[in-house]
Amino acid sequence: MGRLSVDLCGIELDNPVIPASGTFGYGYEFAEVYDINCLGTFSFKGTTREERFGNPTPRIAESASGCVNAVGLQNPGVDKVISEELPRLKKVFHKPVMANVSGFSIDEYVYVCEKLDKEDQVGWLEVNISCPNVHGGGMSFGTDPKAATEVTKAVKAVTNKPVIMKLSPNVTDIVAVAKACEDAGADAVSLINTLMAMRIDIKRRKPILGNVTGGLSGKAVFPVALRMVYQTSKALSIPVVGLGGVSTAEDVIEMMMAGASAVQVGAANLIDPWACKKIIEDLPAALDKLGIKDIKDIIGAAH
């Protein structure tokens, strides 16, 4: 294992940098910009049982230090992901990929996970129980420890690959939800997803987003994400994947010191397609500056 390499649920990553779901498509679009094999891995677009067109437009509203999105899980459905997206991805990405799964019922989570579990390219199943921008979907499971337990148990019963439960920050006690997932058999948790937010067009006197509310991402959420990763990693014995507002190599180091075993980069990819590549290239110098020889040594260092 190299200086930047980390272990995530028994699978070695060349580095801890992972583009977050919804910000990297199914990978091959970014492969036209740079060789995406430099990434640790990436989490592909949230995938549901059936094809979804997504929410009404507008779907994006900018804010001073981030953006509010309500895309609404637009995706071609799991069958097309398996028959079309994954074969296309295999031509340009030669590492295990993280499959992000969304659902509107426990049966749907089980159906999608069971299908993706059979795919050789898939290394991990990231089960999103935290999407705040889809009516009736995801978030209701991620805000209740009991519901989170039920989803985790159901998915673990039909899968052999590591299951990472993606958690919502829109809760009073994220540690309680994380512990419920761990106790139900989750192999890891990832956090945070976006914070519920909105913007208003003051000329039209109406919400900007077609969905009215959406999820806030970007630099504005980093301190919140860091706090939640710190609290959760202290309470759990399974790995934590940290995300939320990460945009620099120093952010990655800070997130890992808070307890993250790997770090996802989201909104930064939408601002700069080369964001993850630059972060990976900047990491060695950032570690040198701090006298850190091996990135694994800093996981949870702030504890």
| Residue 166, Ramachandran bin (φ over 0: left; ψ between -120 and 50: alpha; else beta) | beta
Greatest extent of the chain over all pairs of C-alpha atoms, in Å: 56
Pairing of strands 66-69, 214-217: antiparallel
What residue type is assigned to position 224 of the chain?
V
What is the distance in angstroms between the CA of the first residue and the CA of the last residue of the chain?
24
Q: CA-CA distance, 241 to 232, in Å (whole number)?
A: 10
Among candidate residues 232, 146, 249, 152, the one with its CA nearest the CA of residue 192: 232
Q: CA-CA distance, 190 to 41, in Å (whole number)?
A: 14
- Give whole-number Cα distances, 236 to 13, 135, 162, 180, in Å: 21, 30, 16, 10
What residue type is assigned to position 292 of the chain?
I
| Sign of the torsion angle spanned by Cα atoms 32, 76, 125, 196 | positive
Burial class (CB in 10 A: 0-12, 13-18, 19+), 263: buried
Residues known to be catalytic: 131
Letter string b/e over residues 287-300, b meaning 16 or more CB atoms within 10 A of that residue's CB: beeeebeebbebbb
